[in-house]
Amino acid sequence: MASSVPVAVRADDDPSFARTGRPRRSWVARSRPWLLLAPGLAVLAVLMLWPLLRVFLFSLQDYGLPQIVSGEPNWIGLGNFAEVLTSEQLWSVVLPNTIGFAVLAVSATVAFGTAVAVLLASLGTAWRAVVSSCIMAAWAMPAVTGTYVWVWIFDADRGVFNHVLQSLGLQDAPVNWFTDRWSFYAIVLLNIVHHGFPFVTVTVLAALLGVPRELIEAAEIDGAGGWRRFFSIIVPQLRQVFAVVIIMSTIWDFKVFAQVFLMPGGAGTNREVLNLGVWSYVESFGQNRYGFGAAIAVLLTLMLLAITVVYVRTILKEEEL
Amino acid sequence: MSVLSVRRPTPRAQVGKAVAVVALLVFTLFPAYWMLVSAFDAKAGLGTSFVPAEPTVEHFRFVLTEGGFDVFLRNSAVVALVTVLVSAVLALLASVAVARFRFRLRTQILLMILVVQMVPLEALVIPLFVQVRNLQLLETLLGLIVVYVALALPFGIWMLRGFVAAVPVELEEAAYVDGASWGRMFRSILLPLVAPGLVATSIFSFITAWNEFLFAMTLLGGATENYTVAIGLRSFFGQFSNEWGAIMAASTLITVPVMVFFILVQRRLAAGLTSGAVKG
């Protein structure tokens, strides 16, 4: 990771100070960091922080098309949140599809990615380079085209998956895999793991190659088997790396949008497969209930914020900002 | 030689490893391979052939002419390039500030930049839709570019910060000793040394803007002539049947630039950047 480079700032590196040797700094030199930051901060303030505050304000209103046109507020207090939190849809469909799926997807991605990293570490240098490049192809595939390819593979009438099952005699008639909630999310899971495991593999592999060989040699001489060496020697060495990889994957897998939205029925027609992000979008832009959609989005943001706090604490342990 | 063991592997372990590698490659490459096969096959989806049954470039011709994908590709290129240029300048200036200066609120600003990256786009899309609408920029490429610059910026600052910090302070001090002003030092010392990082960061912004789907769909609405590639794909989905050959050909056109850029970034990141710029 580029961010792990230590920050080379010292007390005496202020340019004007270094140049003139005078302890008093000019006004320009003192305000230089702020001048440099100003354009970027202005963009972030207007296009990230203000909208973030605004989505919260919207969530406290009955905000629909009339409010968008007139710009007049229409406060209803916590009404939207009450409606979201008491809705059957949230508890029986949306939360399981969001949290349950994220748990499954993160476990599968991290387990598979780590297994591949161990496999790569056991290969020779040339093969390792070839296989890693192929893995990059899976990572580089854009979410949109990747999702369409999976939809095409599992297409009911002409998809290769049904064709193969039928020619093997495992299935009499084509099956529509997108109508059932479980098979729908199984395909999403396949898509997410396929797209997400290269990040885990690359990060864990880099850390694996950094584990001191003496440790592994010593354990092997002491008679520790492969599993024992992995869980007792390598995993403790890589705790920090695993923490970062797990948290990053969790953040991504909570926010799955295109991979669900672009599947047949995923854009709101099949209410069984909604997750928090898609539900928020469908309520806002499909039903013009922007206030209600904003309340759902606020819930999603709060969940991610909680995970982010854990993440920030983890990297603050590792390096000084 | 293996990294995780000092012993010589048994023949059985060797075979097992070979099988695992083949299975892994099949799983990893199959979607991309299937995309290409379908894109070049006139009979895509009519049989179980794993190579094009009737090779053709007809899908590509259709997509780029009647399909209007030439326009979508141009729109995406314009949006991505402007996004890259603007966000690279803003990110470079900001990253120099946080990597080279100590000032009040510096840590808070860094944390803010880190946290903002985690915000779900679904939360930003509602207020930004209203904001872009008020600016009368709905259905225009400019509205999309403005949003993409903001999306690319936090990661750009975060990544460039590492590259700027890796440039030895001694080089800057040497420039001051030689009488250079701060601006001169920035242009002649810092900028050339950070250039590889700038390229890597720009490629990431390019990929962000090229792939983005949610805002393109929301902000461009029905303005088909301004569609970017990510939403242009949807025009090949018919009400009753989907033109899968055309969809896969268009997907290939979208995916290839991203894959090329990705491989470029990998090399850039692997190269030791400025390590060894100061000789002991």
3 state SS for B96-161? HHHHHCCCCCHHHHHHHHHHHCCCCHHHHHHHHHHHHHHCCCCCCHHHHHHHHHHHHHHHHHHHHH
- B2 in any annotated domain: no
Q: How confident is the model at residue A13 (pLDDT cuts 50, 70, 90)?
A: very low
In contact, B54 and B43? CB cutoff 8 Å: yes
B237 domain-assigned:
yes
pLDDT band at A210 (very low <50, low <70, confident <90, very high): confident
Question: pLDDT at position A7, please?
Answer: 39
Asked if A193 has any chain B CB less than 8 Å from its own CB, the reply is: no
Interchain CB distance below 8 Å, A18 and B159? no
Residue A202 sits in a domain whose CATH number is: 1.10.3720.10
* Contact status of B105 with chain A (Cβ, < 8 Å): no
Q: Which residue has the higher pLDDT, B275 or A122?
A: A122
Q: Which amino acid is at B136?
A: Q
Domain presence at residue A97: yes
Q: Quick one: pLDDT at residue B196?
A: 84
Residue of B nearest to A195 (CA): B28
Query: In terms of CA atoms, which chain B residue is nearest residue A118?
Result: B4
Task: Look at residue B275 and tell me whether its pLDDT is greater than 60.
Answer: no
Looking at the 3D structure of chain B, how many domains does it have?
2
Q: Which residue has the higher pLDDT, B6 or B122?
A: B122
Q: What band does A1 get if pLDDT is binned at 50, 70 and 90?
A: very low
* Residue A9: partners with Cβ closer than 8 Å, 6 or more residues away: B99, B100, B101, B102, B165, B169
pLDDT digits (tens, 9 = 90+) for B206-236: 999 999 999 999 999 888 899 999 999 988 8
Interface test with A, best of B14, B96, B101 (most A CBs within 10 A): B101
What's the confidence (pLDDT) of residue A203? 86
Better-scored residue on pLDDT, A5 or A311: A311
- Residue-number span of the structural domain to which A244 is assigned: 92-318
What was the pLDDT predicted at B27? 96
pLDDT band at A29 (very low <50, low <70, confident <90, very high): confident
Structural domain contains residue B155: yes
Which residues of chain B neighbour A142 with C-beta distances below 8 Å? 207, 210-211, 230, 254-255, 258
Q: What is the mean pLDDT of residues A286-297?
A: 96
Are the Cβ atoms of B94 and A36 closer than 8 angstroms? Answer: yes
Residues B109 and B22 in one domain: no
In a domain, A262, yes or no: yes
Chain A residues touching B177 at Cβ < 8 A: 19
Q: Tens digit of pLDDT for each residue in B120-143? A: 999 999 999 999 999 999 999 999
At A20 the pLDDT is 45
pLDDT confidence band for A230 (50 / 70 / 90): confident
Question: Which of B102, B106, B111 lies closest to A312 in CB terms?
Answer: B111
User: Is the same domain home to B124 and B100?
Assistant: yes
Which residue, among B4, B76, B158, would best test binding to A if mutated, counting the most A CBs under 10 Å from its CB?
B4
Q: Does B220 touch chain A (CB under 8 A)?
A: no
Contact B28 A217 (CB under 8 A): no
* B193 part of a folded domain: yes
Closest residue of A to B106, CA-based?
A: A321
User: Residues for chain B: how many in total?
Assistant: 280
Structural domains of chain A, count: 1
Please determine, for residue B259, whether its predicted confidence score (pLDDT) is greater than 70: yes
Tell me how close the Cα of B223 comes to any Cα of chain A, in angstroms. 17
Total-model pTM: 0.89
- The per-residue pLDDT for A76 is 94
Task: Please check whether residue A176 lies inside any domain of the structure.
Answer: yes
Retrieve residue A2's tokens: 């580029």
Measure CB to CB from residue A142 to each of B218, B258, B269 and give the nearest one: B258
Is residue B61's pLDDT more than 90?
A: yes
Mean predicted confidence (pLDDT) in A26-31: 81
Domain assignment present for residue A18? The answer is: no
Cα A134 to Cα A114, A153, B24, B208: the distances in Å are 16, 20, 10, 21
A298 assigned to some structural domain:
yes
Q: What is the average pLDDT across A65-75?
A: 89
Q: How far is B222 from chain A (nearest CA, A)?
A: 14
Cα gap A289→B224, rounded to integer Å: 25
Claim to verify: residue B176 and residue B232 sit in the same structural domain: yes
Contact between chains at A14 and B131 (C-beta distance less than 8 A): no
- Amino acid (1-letter code) at residue A110: V
pLDDT tens for A148-158 read: 999 999 998 88
Question: How far is Cα A58 from Cα B232, in angstroms, rounded to an integer?
Answer: 31
Query: Minimal Cα–Cα distance from A184 to chain B, Å?
Result: 18
Residue in A51, A138, A234 closest to B127 by CB: A51
Q: Per the CB < 8 Å rule, is A40 touching B157? A: yes
Per-residue pLDDT for B69 more than 90? yes
Residue B82: which CATH number?
A: 1.10.3720.10
Same domain, B52 and B66: no
To 10 degrees, what angle do helices B106-116 and A290-318 make? Answer: 130
The residue among B8, B72, B126, B188 with the most chain A CBs within 10 A of its CB, best to mutate, is B126
Domain span holding position B38: 11-56
- Where residue A3 falls among pLDDT bands split at 50, 70, 90? very low
User: Which among A11, A251, A262 has the least Cβ separation from residue B118?
Assistant: A251
For residues B100 and B74, state if they share a domain: yes
Q: Is the residue at A52 inside a domain?
A: no
pLDDT at A321: 64
Secondary structure (3-state) at B55: strand
With CB atoms and an 8 Å threshold, state whether A141 touches B32: yes
B147: closest chain A residue by CA: A47
Q: Are residues B124 and B23 in the same domain?
A: no
**Contact assignment for B21 to A131 by CB distance below 8 Å:** yes
User: Residue A215's pLDDT is what?
Assistant: 85
Q: What is the ipTM of this complex?
A: 0.90
Check CB contact of A10 with chain B, cutoff 8 Å: yes
Question: Which residues on A lie below 8 Å from B213 (Cβ)?
Answer: 143-144, 258, 262
Query: In angstroms, how far is the first alpha carbon of chain A from the final one?
Result: 14
Q: What is the mean pLDDT of residues A92-97?
A: 96
Round the average pLDDT of chain A to a whole number and report it.
88
Give B41's strand partners: B55
Pick the most confident of A19-28, A116-125, B8-17. Answer: A116-125
- Cα–Cα distances (Å) from B20 to A193, A196, A260, B202, in that order, read 17, 19, 30, 36
Domain annotation covers residue A297: yes
Which token pair is A57? Answer: 């304000």
Do B43 and B146 share a domain, yes or no? no
**Do B40 and B65 belong to one domain?**
no
Supply the pLDDT for residue B271. 40
Lowest mean pLDDT among A144-158, A200-214, B78-92, B245-259: A200-214
B196 within domain boundaries:
yes
Span A37-63, mean pLDDT?
A: 95
Higher pLDDT residue, A34 or B47? A34
Whether A21 is in a domain gets the answer no
Shortest CA distance from A138: residue in chain B: B28
Q: Does any domain span residue B275?
A: no
| Nearest residue in A to B248, CA atom | A149
Contact B31 A167 (CB under 8 A): no
